[in-house]
Amino acid sequence: MSSQIDHLLDETRRFPPAEEFAAAAVAQPEVYERAGADREAFWGEQARELLHWKKPFTRVLDWSTPPFAKWFDDGELNVSYNCLDRHVEAGNGDRVAILWEGEPGDSRRITYAELTDEVKRVANVLSGFGVGVGDRVAIYLPMIPEAVAAMLAVARLGAVHSVVFGGFSADSLRSRIDDAGAKVVITADGGYRKGRVSALKPAVDQALGDRGDGVQQTVEHVLVVKRGENDVDWVEGRDVWWHDIVPAASVDHEAQAFPAENPLFILYTSGTTGKPKGILHTSGGYLTQAAYTHRNVFDLKPETDVFWCTADIGWITGHTYVTYGPLANGATQVLYEGTPDAPHPGRWWEVIEKYGVTIFYTAPTAIRSFMKIGRSVPRKFDLSSIRLLGSVGEPINPEAWMWYREVIGGGDTPIVDTWWQTETGAIMVSPLPGITATKPGSAQVPLPGIAIDVVDETGEEVGNGNGGLLVITEPWPSMLRGIWGDPERYKETYWEKFDKQGFYFAGDGARLDEDGDLWLLGRVDDVMNVSGHRLSTAEIESSLVAHEATAEAAVVGASDETTGQAVVAFVIIKESYLSEHDAAGLATQLRQWVGEQIGAIARPRDVYIVGELPKTRSGKIMRRLLRDVAEGREVGDTTTLADTAVMSIISAQVK
C-alpha cells in the first residue's frame, strides 16, 4: 500500500513575530546555523550551559550500538540538585517555584528554598525505607506540590520513579507496580476532581492485595499524603502518613552525583499487545533537552515569567514541562489540582488572572471544549498577562488555533504548536516564537539540533508538497533508552520498520507543505483508505471544526462495500447553535460543507451529532471505540476513558 497521504486542506494565513518580541527573544536566528554546523557540538554546548555537572563529560554521544544511545555518558550530575539546590546557592532561594491552586480554592506559594528543604526531607525518609540507586518508586498522587517533591526526592537518590496517573484503576496501577518491581508507593488518601474527592489509597490497597498469581510482592512501604480527608484502611508496618514522618525528617541531605545514563524514570504507555510499555528515560540527556526546549520554545525569562503547563504529572508533558524543564530553568510556575470546569467553566481563566500567568501551555482538546462553551466565559477575566501560548498532545486544527490566538491571546500572542511523544522525552518540532512566521495548525519545523523527515514506505523522502510517515533520522538527547525489561520489544516497536536507514518511526503521518513546514496528520493507524485515496482523519476533522456550528469533531474510517472505507464523523455542536437548529439538518449541512471545503471524496457517509466524545483522562479521543460504533459491533474496552458512560450514550444516539 502506498504511504502517500492525500493532502486536502490549504491554510494560507501567516503570522510573523512582532519586531519587539523578536528582538528580545531567547532564541535568535543563528541558533539554527550553530546546530546545523555541528549537531553534537551544539548539544554539548547546551548541556554545559544549562546544567551543572559534578564531573564534566568529555563525550557527547556514543551511538556505537544503535538503537541504544548514550549521551554525555562519562559525565556525572544530580538531577534534583540541578532543579533545586543550585538556584538556592545562586541566591534565588526566595524566588517562588510553585504557585499551587487546589480545586476547592486553597493555595500555597512555595519558594525554591522551601521546595529544596522538602525534597531533602523526603529523600531522607525514602533513604530510611531502604531506597537507593536504581530502586523503583511508584508515585500515584493528585496534582499537589508533594507530587513534584516526591519525583525530585527519588531522582535525588539516583532511584527511578514510575508516576502512575491518578485516574488509573487499581488493575492498571498493579500492572505498573509489578512490571517495575517498585519498592515503595507514594500516594494520597484522595484528590479533588469536579468538586468531589476522588479516592486513591483504596486503589493502592487493592493493587497490593493478595497476588495469587505467583507474582512476588515487592512493595515494602506506602507513604500517604493526607489531602482529601478520606477514611483509609491502614496496614501497620507498611503504611506511613507523610505528615507524621516528612516534617520530622532531617533537612540535611547532600546530593550525590550519578552517571548521566543513570535511569531517571519509567513512564508507561498503552501497548497494542495489552501489556503497557515502560518507556525508560535517563538523566543527563533528558534533562538537557528538557531545559533547552523549555527555555527556547517558550521564550522563558525566569525572573519575570509565570509559566503554566496544565498537564498532569502522570503524563510525559507533566514530567518534562511541570517538573523537570521549569525547575531546571529556575522558573516560577502554576500547579493546579482540578479540572478546567470546576467549580465553574471559567476556572482556568480565573487562575491565569489571579497569578498573572505569562506563558500558557495546554491541549487542543481543552481549547475545543472552551470553544464549545463560547468566548463569553474567558472574556469575563483579565488575560492580558499572557505573552505566549502553547499547544500539545495532538494536531491542532486551524480554527481552534485562531480561536486560541484571538480569544485567549488577545489577537496578537504567538502560539507554539509542539510535536513530541512520551518516547521522545521533550519537544522535537515547534516554531521558535521570535523567529518563525507561524501557520495556524502547523507544528512547522524541527528544533535546532533535531533531525526529522517525512518518508514513504521504503524510507525515501517524499519531498515538499507531499505526505507520508514521520521519522527521526538522528539520535537526540532526551530519546527513550528502551522499554523497561524488554530490549527486543523496543527495537521491534520503534526501529524495525526502517532498520536499514536507522530511522526512528514515530507512528504518525505528516506532510511537508511547499515551504517544507511540517503538518501532523495524526496516527498512521487513523488514516482511512477511501476509494484508493489515503485520507487523514485530522484534515477532515479540521474541516468540520471550521464550520461555525461545530465545537469538536472526531472522524473514523468504517468498512464500506463500495469504497473500502467510508468517512464517519461524530460532531459536537456549539451550545449557541443547538437551540436554533435540528440535528438532522445540521448533519446534512456538515456533509455538504466538507464536500465544498475539501472535495467529494472526503464527504462523510454519516454525520452523528453527539453530546460528548470518548476521551481518556489526558484528553485524547479514543477513535477505536467510535470505529466500533460506526461499524455496528460491540464497543471494546472503555476502562481508560474519563467517563465510561459516554460510549453508551453515543451508541444510543447513533441507533
Domain of residue 262, CATH code: 3.40.50.12780
Mean of the pLDDT values across residues 511-527? 86
Residue 26 counted as domain residue: yes
Residue 479 counted as domain residue: no
Mean of the pLDDT values across residues 549-570? 86
Torsion, Cα 83 89 92 98, to 10 degrees, reads 30
Q: Buried (b) or exposed (e) across 85-101, using 16+ Cβ within 10 A?
A: bbbbeeebbebbbbbbb
Confidence of residue 618 (pLDDT cuts 50, 70, 90): low
pLDDT greater at residue 123 or residue 196: 123
Residue 49 counted as domain residue: yes
Mean of the pLDDT values across residues 528-551? 81
Q: Are residues 495 and 543 in the same domain?
A: no
Confidence of residue 1 (pLDDT cuts 50, 70, 90): very low
Q: Are residues 496 and 571 in the same domain?
A: no
Q: Are residues 495 and 577 in the same domain?
A: no
Q: Are 308 and 359 in contact (CB under 8 A)?
A: yes
Quote the pLDDT of residue 8: 53
| pLDDT over 90, % of the chain | 72
Domain that holds residue 443: 19-450+491-500
- Max Cα separation, the chain? 72
Mean of the pLDDT values across residues 623-638? 86
pLDDT greater at residue 366 or residue 261: 261
Q: Which amino acid is at 198?
A: S
Confidence of residue 88 (pLDDT cuts 50, 70, 90): very high
Quote the pLDDT of residue 322: 98
Q: How far is CA 180 from CA 94, 211, 215, 231, in A?
A: 37, 16, 12, 29
pLDDT at 273 over 70: no
Stated pTM of the model? 0.87
Quote the pLDDT of residue 465: 93
- pLDDT tens digit string along 342-353? 889 999 999 999
Mean of the pLDDT values across residues 258-287? 88
Residue 287 counted as domain residue: yes
Question: How far apart are the C-alpha atoms of 480 and 167, rounded to whole Å?
Answer: 24
pLDDT greater at residue 434 or residue 3: 434
Q: Are residues 433 and 541 in the same domain?
A: no
Question: How far apart are the C-alpha atoms of 97 and 119, rounded to whole Å?
Answer: 13
Residue 509 counted as domain residue: no
Q: Are residues 246 and 308 in the same domain?
A: yes
Q: Are residues 312 and 200 in the same domain?
A: yes
Q: Are residues 495 and 538 in the same domain?
A: no
What's the mean per-residue pLDDT of the chain?
A: 92
Residue 474 counted as domain residue: no
Q: Are residues 331 and 218 in the same domain?
A: yes
CATH number, residue 546:
3.30.300.30
pLDDT at 54 over 90: yes
Q: Are residues 195 and 251 in the same domain?
A: yes
Quote the pLDDT of residue 2: 44
Q: Are residues 551 and 428 in the same domain?
A: no
pLDDT at 412 over 60: yes
Question: How far apart are the C-alpha atoms of 277 and 179, rounded to whole Å?
Answer: 9
Q: Are 566 and 588 in contact (CB under 8 A)?
A: no
Q: Are residues 599 and 496 in the same domain?
A: no
**Beta strand 452-455 pairing with 467-472:** antiparallel
Quote the pLDDT of residue 602: 84
Mean of the pLDDT values across residues 534-548? 83
Confidence of residue 649 (pLDDT cuts 50, 70, 90): confident
Residue 472 counted as domain residue: no
Q: Are residues 348 and 436 in the same domain?
A: yes
Q: Find the angle CA(642)-CA(621)-CA(535) to the nearest 5 degrees.
A: 170
Query: Helix, strand, coil % (nearest 5) of the chain?
Result: 30, 25, 45
Quote the pLDDT of residue 300: 98
Range in 395-409, 444-458, 625-639 the model is least confident about: 625-639
Mean of the pLDDT values across residues 59-84? 98
Number of domains in the chain: 2
DSSP bridge pairs for 334: 99
Mean of the pLDDT values across residues 350-371? 94
Residue 440 counted as domain residue: yes
Confidence of residue 10 (pLDDT cuts 50, 70, 90): low
pLDDT greater at residue 25 or residue 521: 25
DSSP bridge pairs for 163: 139
Confidence of residue 559 (pLDDT cuts 50, 70, 90): confident
Question: How far apart are the C-alpha atoms of 323 and 150, rounded to whole Å?
Answer: 10
Instruction: Give 273's contacts (C-beta < 8 A, 6+ positions apart).
Output: none
